[in-house]
Structure 1
Amino acid sequence: MPALRDIRRRINAVRSIQKITKAMKMVAAARLRRAQDKIISARPYARKIEELIQRFISTFESGFDEPLLKEREVKNIALVVVTADRGLCGSFNTNIIRKALSLIEERQNELPQGGKVKLICVGKKGFDYFSRHRRNFEVIDSFTGLFRKTIEYVWVEKIMGRIVEGFLNDEFDKVEIIYNEFKSIVQQRIVVEQFLPIVPKFEIVKPSKGIKVPLVEYIYEPDAQDILKSLLPKYLETHILRILLESNAAEQAARMTAMDNATENANELLKDLQLLFNKTRQAMITKEMLEIASGAEALRKAEIA
């Protein structure tokens, strides 16, 4: 039977941890509201500019003289892994890293001999894992500390600049991004997207075989290529910003859920410890009463003798 002092010490320790997890849950809830508002506001613009870019590259059969749109033989792939800067958010980082490991192995098997999967880590947790892993992954760049408070636009420019520079310099021939998409407070979805080169995601259906299909044709001023060159940087920056906002909102939701579960678990543990404390105390009282009764009975027998 454990001593009452040890049980009381454990109860105090659990209560202290419960206060911390409860406070962290409240902080995560406040940050989640702000992050959720930002991503909900950013999604319509991101979808519209992507739709506009897709219409440009899908409508014109001749294509554009734009290197970011040209597919080439894939010898090296850059994988941008977006994780959090901090832990205590459940399986948020673990799931991303596990999926990234699976994706790295899959892409490595698809590449020709000598091809490499190069990593760009966004978030400290992913960088710490891949830079210290015994398999010696090739981490060519990292961006950490951007999720601490508000996501500043300068981070978007740095990440986009590094990716575009590497692609244009043939450091890698394809860029994919893996991140957590915010679906709801209790659900986050891991998404893998191709970032570069930009490829058409749908086809514009044109009239054929006498079937009349409405097709809107626009007159561009200036010409379509100039407009595309102006829109591409905005599209890429918006895409990265949306991904960072998605990941940030998903992280706060995961942290709030994890801290809520930790608080509930601490509460259950406190109930078990309090019950153990009461049982132990009752056993000690019963033992003392038996000792007193036994001593009194021994004295009574001694007086009779």
Structure 2
Amino acid sequence: MPNLKDIRIRINSVKTTRQVTSAMKMVSAAKFKKAQDDISHIRPYVERLAGIIFDLTQSLDDKVELEWSKEREPNKILLVVVSSNRGLCGAFNSNVIKEAERLLKTKFKYQFKQGNVDIMAIGKQAQKILNLHGYPVSKEFNELYNEMSYQKVKEISTEVMDAYKSEKYDRVILIYNEFKNAAVQELRADQFLPMQLPTGDDFGNNSVDYIVEPNKLEFIEKVIPEALQTMFYRVILESLASEHGSRMTSMHKATDNATEMLSDLQLSYNKARQGAITTEILEIVGGAEALKK
């Protein structure tokens, strides 16, 4: 049985850990609320924007091919892996990294062997672990989370779009966690470019006939880049909300586990203390009996 000193040291250590996890849970809860509000605000906007694009593209001639939705042979690929800068958020980071590795080993195995796959990391965790596993990250934007803003995300998305437009890449894939609730995130690997235009399955057949000046094609070519930038921003917000929700849940579980461990340690301490007292009493009684004899 461990001695009293060892158990006291462990109790103090667990108490300190519980204070840390409890504080991290409260910080994540505050950040989570803001991130959740941001998601609830941007989702309707992006969905309505996609609806407008669908309505306008439905009225175009089928022979018209839009620049951002033009399919090319996927010879050069860009994977954008969205993770967090910090850990302690459950399986949040490991899921996106596993998905990136799965794509590199299966769907884009040939392109990767030819050296035609670049990896862009948004978040230190993705950069660190992918490099460690032998998948070199060509570009990173780890400082984005320090001062998150639409303008900074727009700069990144514009750089990605310019690379696609110049045919540096034929396909761009975004790997991220989509927010469902504080405890649930859905792993996504979505094709960002070429843009997959909305279909009737997404919005039904209740299209609206808009009056557009100067003409629909010119308007669509103007609005699609802005829609892509907004969609990219939504992906970052989805990942951010998922991160805070996952960390809040993980720290809540860690705090509960620490409390349970403290209870077990306190019981062990009381048993050890009682055993030590009993041993001392027996030694005193034994000594007294020996003196009598």
Q: TM-score of the superposition, structure 1-length normalised?
A: 0.88
CA apart distance, 1:9:
1.2
How many Å separate the matches in 2 of 1:293 and 1:201? Answer: 88
Letter in 2 for 1:259: M
**Structure 2 residue aligned with 1:75:** 75
Is 1:285–2:274 an aligned residue pair? no
Answering whether residue 252 of structure 2 is matched by residue 260 of structure 1, we say yes
Pick closer, same or farther for the CA change 1:115–1:224 going to 2, 3 Å: farther
Structure 2 residue 171 is the aligned partner of structure 1 residue 179: no
Q: Select the residue among 237, 246, 260 that pairs with 1:245.
A: 237
1:213-272: per-residue Cα shift (whole Å, max 9, x none)?
Answer: 987544421111221122122101110111111111110100100000000010011011
Q: Deviations over 1:26-78 (max 9, x none)?
A: 11111111110110011000111122223333442345464322111110111
Unaligned runs of 5+ in 2: none
Aligned counterpart, 2:159: 162
RMSD: 2.1
Moved over 6 A (4+): none
- Distance in 2 between residues matched to 1:105 and 1:42, nearest whole Å: 34
The secondary structure found in structure 2 opposite 1:281 is helix
**Local SS of the residue matching 2:196:** coil
* Counterpart-to-counterpart distance in 1, 2:103 and 2:154: 26
Number of matched residues? 290
Query: Percent sequence identity over matched residues?
Result: 39
Change beyond 3 A, Cα 1:290–1:16: same
AA partner of residue 139 (structure 1): V
SS in 1 for 2:77: strand
Counterpart position of 2:142: 144
The answer to whether the Cα contact below 8 Å between 1:74 and 1:173 also exists between their aligned partners in 2 is yes
- Tell me what 1:104 maps to: 104
Distance in 2, Cα, partners of 1:91 & 1:282: 42
Give the conservation status (yes or no) of the 8 Å contact 2:158–2:229. no
Residue aligned with 1:145, SS: helix
> What is residue 131 of structure 1 aligned with on the other side?
131
Cα distance in 2 between the residues matched to 1:89 and 1:112: 30
The 5 A counterparts of 1:1-305 are 1-64=1-64, 66-109=66-109, 111=111, 114=114, 116-133=116-133, 135=134, 137-148=135-146, 151-203=148-200, 217-301=209-293
Q: What is the aligned partner in structure 2 of residue 207 from structure 1?
A: none
* Partner Cα distance (1:38, 1:112) in 2: 36
Deviation at 1:139, TM superposition (A): 2.3
Tell me if structure 1 keeps the 8 A contact 2:53–2:198: no
Distance 1:197 1:244 in 2: 19
Do 1:83 and 1:126's aligned partners in 2 also have CA atoms closer than 8 Å? yes
Q: 1:131 to 1:214 in 2, by over 3 A?
A: closer
| Structure ranking higher in helix proportion | 2
Verify the 8 A CA contact 2:69 2:197 in the aligned structure 1.
no
CA 1:110–1:297 in structure 2 vs 1: closer, same or farther (change >3 Å)? Answer: same
Would the alpha carbon gap of residues 29 and 174 (structure 1) be closer, same or farther in structure 2, given more than 3 Å must change?
Answer: same
CA distance in 2, matches of 1:193, 1:260: 31
Q: In structure 2, what is the Cα distance between the partners aligned to 1:161 and 1:223?
A: 25
CA distance in 1, matches of 2:139, 2:59: 36
Deviation at 1:111, TM superposition (A): 4.7
Contact 2:82 2:239 in 1 (8 A): yes
**Structure 1, residues 70-107: CA drift from partner, whole Å, max 9, x if none?**
11111011111110111111111011111221122222
